[in-house]
Each structure stands twice: as C-alpha cells, then as structure tokens.
C-alpha cells in the first residue's frame, strides 16, 4: 500500500469532515474531534462531540461526565462528514488487507501489526499536522480536544498518554491526564 497517498487521503477526508461538521453543529459547542479505527485496521472514521450533548446527559451519565467528554465511543456525531472520502479509504484498507491475507491477522501477525501500526501512526500524524496548522481553530475559533482511538483495542497507558500530549497543548490535555490517574490498573 502506498502510505503517502493514504495519508493524503486521510488528511483530505479529515478536513472535509471537520468543515462539514463545523458548518452543521458549531452552534452546539464543538469541543473535540477524533479519528478512530478498529483493531483489524479496516476503517478510519471521524467523530466529534458538543457541549450541548454533555449538558443533556442524564443524571447517571453525568456521574461519568469525564468519560463521556473524552471517549469517542460515546460522542454524539460519529461517522459524519467526508462520507465518500472515508468510505473510499475504508475500501482501500479492506482491499489491502484482503490482498495480503491480513484479514486473519494471525496468519501473518508480524506483517499485519506493522501495517496496523503504520495506519494508526498516519491518523495521529494527520491530526497533529492539522492542529499545528491551526486548521481546527480556524473553524471553531478555539482549541479543541483531539484524539485517536481504536475500537476493541487498548493502548498501553504510556502510549495513550503520549498521544494525548502530542495532540493537545490546552486545558483538555491536563484534564485528560488527571482522568487517566483515576483508572484502575
């Protein structure tokens, strides 16, 4: 797979998704954005959440406010924006996995893990580059929380901490890192 082209496609799709999301939901108080994938490295999708969504949590959910604030799996707007672009990326990933018999990751685990890790690295790099360029702030008017997550996959704590630090240099970073301290080993 041509990872340079893949990174370009992910960046283009991310920009398009965020512009579409900010145009539709900016008034709801967008405070975060994430790219996420899956353990099998077959998808890349955008996700975002809003202050309005957090304000409307029920009482039980409000007891876990930080979780709802920072975990993309609970965010309101998932797989919205840049639909055609992200669909094409997912198709490309599945084609590559199928072509190389990575669908069963245990057949050639080492090669699959290299592929998966490269994909994850690309997603993080795209978010970092767009943040550095001021892309997100341009559309929202303030810094937002950025993250990359993977469904059915758990990062090593130090690795996750590094992702958060790399993508955030705002109050969200500190709040997230404090939240991490409450997690059970």
Q: What is the pLDDT of residues 148-174, one digit of tens each?
A: 999 877 777 888 999 999 999 999 999
* pTM for this entry: 0.92
The DSSP call for residue 35 is: E
- Residue 106 clears pLDDT 60, i.e. is over it: no
Q: How far apart are CA 133 and CA 156, in angstroms?
A: 28
Burial profile 42-52: b = 16 or more Cβ within 10 angstroms, e = fewer: bbbbbbbbbee
8 Å CB contact between 10 and 35: yes
Dihedrals φ, ψ of 81, to 5°? 100, 140
**Sign of the torsion angle spanned by Cα atoms 128, 133, 138, 139:** negative
> What's residue 163's pLDDT?
95
- Strand pairing category for 77-78 and 145-151: unpaired
> What's residue 104's pLDDT?
52
The pLDDT mean for the chain works out to 92
- Strand pairing category for 30-38 and 145-151: parallel
């Amino acid at each position: 797979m041509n990872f340079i082209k893949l990174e370009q496609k992910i960046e283009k799709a991310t920009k398009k998704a965020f512009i579409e999301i900010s145009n539709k939901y900016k008034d709801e108080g967008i405070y975060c954005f994430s790219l996420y994938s899956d353990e099998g490295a077959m998808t890349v999708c955008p996700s975002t959440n809003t202050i309005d969504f957090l304000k409307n949590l029920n009482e039980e959910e409000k007891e876990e406010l930080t979780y709802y604030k920072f975990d993309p799996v609970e965010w309101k707007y998932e797989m919205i924006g840049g639909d055609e672009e992200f669909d094409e990326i997912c198709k490309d990933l599945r084609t590559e996995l199928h072509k190389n018999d990575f669908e069963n990751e245990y057949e050639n685990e080492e090669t699959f893990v290299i592929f998966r890790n490269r994909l994850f690295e690309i997603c993080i790099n795209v978010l970092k580059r767009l943040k550095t360029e001021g892309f997100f702030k341009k559309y929202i008017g303030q810094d937002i929380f950025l993250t990359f997550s993977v469904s059915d996959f758990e990062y090593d704590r130090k690795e996750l901490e590094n992702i958060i630090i790399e993508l955030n240099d705002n109050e969200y970073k500190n709040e997230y890192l404090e939240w991490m301290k409450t997690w059970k080993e």
